[in-house]
Every structure is written in C-alpha cells, then in structure tokens.
Amino acid sequence: MQQTLVDDVSFSGIGVHSGKETKIIVRPAPENHGIRFRRTDIPGTPDIQAIFKKVVDTSLATVVGEDGSIVSTIEHLMASFAGLGIDNALVEINSYEMPIMDGSAENFTSIMVETGIKQQKIPKCFFVVKSPVRVDAGDKFVEIVPGTGFKINCSIEFDNPLIGLQELSFDPDLDDFFQDISRARTFGFIRDLEYLKKFSLGRGASLENAVVIDEDRILNAGGLRYPDEFVRHKLLDCLGDFSLLGMPIQGHIKTNKSGHALNHAFITKFLKEKKSWETKPVIMKL
C-alpha cells in the first residue's frame, strides 16, 4: 500500500551552494499526492511536483522548478523517501535550496523513522520493466533490465588512491537503507571547492557537511563512515534521482560513473520507450 508520514517533521540547515539558512517542514499527504515542494517564501506559487518533467537543472545537483520557482539539491531527501517507501508528502521550504544537513540522508531518514510511517488505503503502482533500456555517454552508462523486486548496482572510478574503483549493490529486501546507505556523505576535492567558491557556489560547504579530499588524505577529523563511503553516496544520489520517475521500480538498475545529468537522461529515455515497461500494482518491499 502507499505510505506517508504519521506527523509533520522539520529540519533546518544551510544550503551547500547558497550558504543560506533554510527550514523545511515535511507534512503527511493523501493517497496519490506524490512528493511535492512548496516555496513558503513565495506566496501564491504552485507546488512543484518531484517528477522528472519538472527537473530544470542537473549541473551540480538535481533542481526542480515550476513557473520560475525552483527547489535545488533535492536528491538526499528524495533518496530518504525512496529508501523508506514514502509515496506521499508535502515539503514546505522557505528558500530555494534544501539544507545539506551533514551531507548525507541520515538526519532526514532517522527523524522520519522516529516520527512514524503509516500505510494508506490505495496500493502502490510500480514500473515493471519488461525489456532492457540503456543510455551511454562514453564509458559512463545507466541501464535497467527486468528482474524480480528492485535492485541497484553502482560503480565509480576516480584517479585517486583513496577512491579508485568502487562498486556496490543494494537490495532493499536484503539490505538496510538507514544503516547501509543513508549515512554516506557527499564528497569532493579541496581544489574543486576552491573553484566553486570563486563562482559564488559552495558557500555552505565545509568539513561538517562533506567528505573533503586533499590528494591522498581525508581532511575530516573523523575520517570515513564506511571504507567505501564514496560509492555508497553515489548510490544514495541515484536512488534520489530515479525516484523522480514518480513511482517505484520493479527491475534491476546498473550504473557506471553516472551523475545527475546522466540519470535524468536515462529517465527521459526510459519513459519514452513505453514498450519496455508497464505500470501495475505489485506487492514488494521498497
């Protein structure tokens, strides 16, 4: 069955690019509402549906927009909704960028679990994959194939001794989203952070909300939360991006070196290839 929250939950923090303090309130929503964002600082603007056709930018984060109103960096909260199987919620936000929190989805996930998730009266509807769909960009790709339940495999490769080649699979029937995925933080190189700040981006980035790499060392005092935290965060981002299909998936996804832009290109192609999938209620855990 579809699910929503038992009660309101709120979060506050700075936007990683804007550096501005932001507050959000996540409210329960009725069946078939989906996930929607509402800018409370711009009265009268329409709610923005968290679906692929509302994506307006994928250069540094996933950004959705409607009639000139945008909400940026939604992927971590969307990953929490996907990982917890929450289908319906209204996210009220008083700025244009989501709070980055600690750079992971742990805060969102833990508070929503603590508040409670409730079943609703209408079944979930799933994209059931019937034949493969793939999008390539050089040595990068995203593909999906038919399969029982939902699984995702991500691989990354960086020319850096701390990262190198990493690969991870996640199956919600076997793995724990909160313990295994939600705590993985976004990461970047100190040289990139300095570059972003030259263009008035990354104003809120710090060692408190990102894993920062300086050549062959981690600058964060506590080090990594997982030996392969980098690929775990990449998988977290993918869960958030693929949730913009608007319905959960029954099929197996594999990505290699993908990012927000390639994930969005894949979603666009997937939805165009209508013979490759069908939608129907399916009893499964997601």
Query: What does the pLDDT look like over 52-98, one tens digit per residue?
Result: 999 999 988 899 999 989 999 999 999 999 999 999 999 999 999 99
Whether residue 130 sits in one domain with residue 104:
no
Rg (CA), the chain: 18
Q: Any idea which residue has 């990505």 for tokens?
A: 255
Q: Is the pLDDT of residue 193 over 80?
A: no
Residue from 17, 233, 252, 260 carrying the catalytic annotation: 260
Q: Kindly state the helix (H) or strand (E) to which residue 97 belongs, with its residue range.
A: none
Give the model confidence (pLDDT) of 116-134 as tens digits.
Answer: 999 999 999 999 999 999 9
Whether residue 106 sits in one domain with residue 172:
no
In this predicted structure, what is the pLDDT of residue 192?
Answer: 77
Whether residue 247 sits in one domain with residue 172:
yes
Tell me, what CATH number does 80's domain have? Answer: 3.30.230.20
Give the C-alpha distances (Å, rounded to integers) separating 70 from 50, 66, 140. Answer: 11, 6, 28
| Mean pLDDT, range 216-222, rounded to an integer | 91
In this predicted structure, what is the pLDDT of residue 93?
Answer: 97
Q: Is the pLDDT of residue 269 over 60?
A: yes
SS3 helix, strand, coil % of the chain, rounded to 5? 25, 35, 40
Whether residue 161 sits in one domain with residue 84:
no
Give the C-alpha distances (Å, rounded to integers) separating 145 from 55, 91, 107, 133, 270. Answer: 24, 32, 32, 7, 11
Whether residue 237 sits in one domain with residue 196:
yes
In a domain? residue 34: yes
| Mean pLDDT, range 166-187, rounded to an integer | 95
Pairing of strands 126-129, 249-256: parallel
Count of CB atoms situated within 10 Å of the CB of 49:
17
How far is the C-alpha of 4 from the C-alpha of 18, rounded, in Å?
Answer: 30
| Mean pLDDT, range 140-159, rounded to an integer | 96
Question: Of the residues 104, 119, 134, which one is the last residue of a structural domain?
Answer: 119
Whether residue 134 sits in one domain with residue 114:
no
Give the C-alpha distances (Å, rounded to integers) separating 214 from 51, 163, 188, 249. Answer: 36, 12, 9, 38
In a domain? residue 286: no
Contact partners, residue 177, CB within 8 Å, separation at least 6: 83, 84, 109, 170
* The total number of structural domains that make up the chain: 2
Domain extent, residue 84, equals: 3-119
Q: Is the pLDDT of residue 197 over 70?
A: no
pLDDT category, 285, cuts 50, 70, 90? very low
Known catalytic membership, residue 76: no
Q: Is the pLDDT of residue 238 over 70?
A: yes
**What pTM was estimated for this model as a whole?**
0.93
* 253, 153 Cβ separation under 8 angstroms: yes
Query: Can you read off the two tokens belonging to residue 165?
Result: 């080649």
